[in-house]
Amino acid sequence: MPPDFYDAWAKFRWAKRNVHTVHAEVLDILDPNVDPFAVRADFEPKREAYIVKVDWVRTLPDHLGLFIGDALQCLRAALDRLAWALVIHGSDPNPEKPNLVQFPIYDCSTSFEANVSRRLPGVSSPKRAAIESRQPYHGGDDGRYLQTLAKLSNDDKHRHVPAYIVAPQNASIRPHPVRCRVKAIGGPVQQPLLRPDAELAAIQIWADAPDHQMGVECNFRVYIAFDLPGIWDNRPDVPLALAKIRDIVRATLEDPTLAG
């Protein structure tokens, strides 16, 4: 008899609702009619430059992190319920340590091989191989998104989800000098986390008068991203990352080798 993934699909369907909720909340938070942050330009004589810094940034509401956490937990639980279904339909349906049963997600093959027997006791070799083929150490974005799910679901349970307002890679800063001339612009920093006093760029000048000033215009839209430097070089957009993880979980539940 093939394994019954009913419980796993129930969690997945609830995860879809949570992912949709996060998307709607992010659209509301990043209302184009409301400025999410402001900048200032502070002159630093030693650097002979105006340093463009974040003056203030809109605080992300607490409930956004809760919605993100709910989505992550449901997606992770869908995979873990799949793992349990495989175990109870395998050769060891009453494992000695059932609390260790879990969908394995590891970033190196050695860890997978060392743990797969306790995570999937009694599960057949073809099914284990199908799960092994999805592991992050094989590379590619799908593996990184699965690694993202594993890390963030743990972060949500024990600490917090690292989501921040971030400027995109194509951010541009336009200076408006008064009684000075622009020599060079260093930056803008790529994908900066927008926190108060965070440095965005350095505008070097030639001063024409002691009372020079600098106005700054920022021409870019921001987004809300996960900060996961150990997994991603660029910070992934929260709604897009959750949607991608959702699709990977769905594809795993639909895998004919696992479902058969």
Residue 181 maps to a domain: yes
Residue 30 maps to a domain: yes
Percentage above 90 pLDDT, the chain: 72
Find residue 173's DSSP bridge partners: 218
Calculate mean pLDDT across residues 169-180: 85
Residue 127 maps to a domain: yes
Task: Classify 224 as helix, strand or coil.
Answer: strand
Can you tell me which residue has the tokens 């505008």?
203
Q: How many domains does the chain have?
A: 1
Residue 192 maps to a domain: yes
Residue 95 maps to a domain: yes
**pLDDT-based confidence at residue 92 (cuts at 50, 70, 90):** very high
Find residue 218's DSSP bridge partners: 173
**pLDDT-based confidence at residue 258 (cuts at 50, 70, 90):** very high
| Runs of H (alpha helix) within 91-204 | 109-119, 125-132, 141-158
Can you tell me which residue has the tokens 């607490």?
62
d(CA 9, CA 29): 30
Residue 153 maps to a domain: yes
Find residue 27's DSSP bridge partners: none
pTM here is 0.88
DSSP annotation string for 42-63: EEEGGGTEEEEEEEEEPPPPHH
Residue 1 maps to a domain: no
Side chain identity at 151, as an amino acid letter?
A: K
- Looking at residue 215, its pLDDT comes to 94
Asked if residues 169 and 221 have their Cβ atoms less than 8 Å apart, the reply is no
d(CA 251, CA 260): 14
97, containing H or E segment: none
Q: Which domain holds residue 227?
A: 6-259
pLDDT tens digits for 212-241?
Answer: 999 998 877 788 999 888 898 888 999 999
DSSP 5: -
